[in-house]
Chain A
């Protein structure tokens, strides 16, 4: 089970409205390499990990990714807070307003709705861990693109934090995959 803690993992305090940046941030909210995709893929895969190390690591990283989803949502919320319809139209978010008003509907930066096709689960733990390594690298690359798109320190600081977490997660998945290969671990059925 899960328990809610009424705070963010890392603070988000954005003072300046920036609708275009909010739109770009949807990439990490409901996009292919988003925090939601990551959380769900690790939760899917943990049942077929061969030992306790894999089950623990996937559970704990998935849990952290949900906290990251909340950080991204908070950033979008704060960047769009108080926006007028005219401002939304100018930022290319008129369509978002028409369908969802200011609700945080799960789409990518281009409005494509979230799908479980973004998660991957093969039942083969090496294939899954290698796909998780790739997912962390893609998310890191996305965070770098997002950091390229803004100069606002209030936005950059949480993005830098989130990007760094991808680096650490990538390393942990890589280490676990290397340990499994080295120890010739097999899954008991």
Chain B
């Protein structure tokens, strides 16, 4: 183990906005990250981002697979936001853009490496492509 000591004092956390009782930057967030930056943080909303143990988010290789995951993640995080703020037009536009981009990247990935969903066109082949390795837990 290193000499790291857990920070037990909530209020000395960097960016510990989510634990503040008066934090209200909910509707119309001041900004969102781009999908890659949001994905490596696990959070599309800079107003809400709160890191632990490291000041730098862990970088991921910037390849097509990461971008596919990143766009899907971006759309999903905005999806959760829109569930409770359904009238935010800018966010609906961002959701739509990222979803279309994620779908496009997923199509491209599947045509190269095989199906990610059973209903993929790349699964309508002989022999049955769905069984092809790898499964998600196998690295």
Residues of A in contact with B (beta carbons under 8 Å apart): 3-15, 53, 56-57, 60-61, 64, 70, 73-74, 77-78, 143-145, 147-148, 151, 153, 156-157, 160-165, 167-172, 175-176, 179
Contacts and interface: CB of A to CB of B under 8 A. Distances in A.
A160 B137 contact: no
Contacts of B117: 3-6
B116 A5 contact: yes
A14 B117 CA distance: 25
Interface of B: 1-2, 4, 6, 18, 26, 39, 41-43, 45, 48-54, 57-58, 60, 65-66, 69, 73, 76-77, 79-81, 83-84, 86, 115-119, 130, 135-139
A60 B79 contact: yes
Nearest to A163: B52
Contact of B50 (A10, A164, A179): A164
Q: Is the interface of B mostly helix, strand, loop or mixed?
A: loop
A156 B81 contact: no
A46 to B, nearest CB: 11
Contacts of B73: 9-10
B77 A78 contact: no
Contacts of A157: 58, 60
Contacts of A7: 69, 116, 136
Contacts of A13: 139
A6 B79 CA distance: 21
Contacts of A143: 52
Contacts of A61: 80
A175 B82 CA distance: 12
Nearest to A168: B43
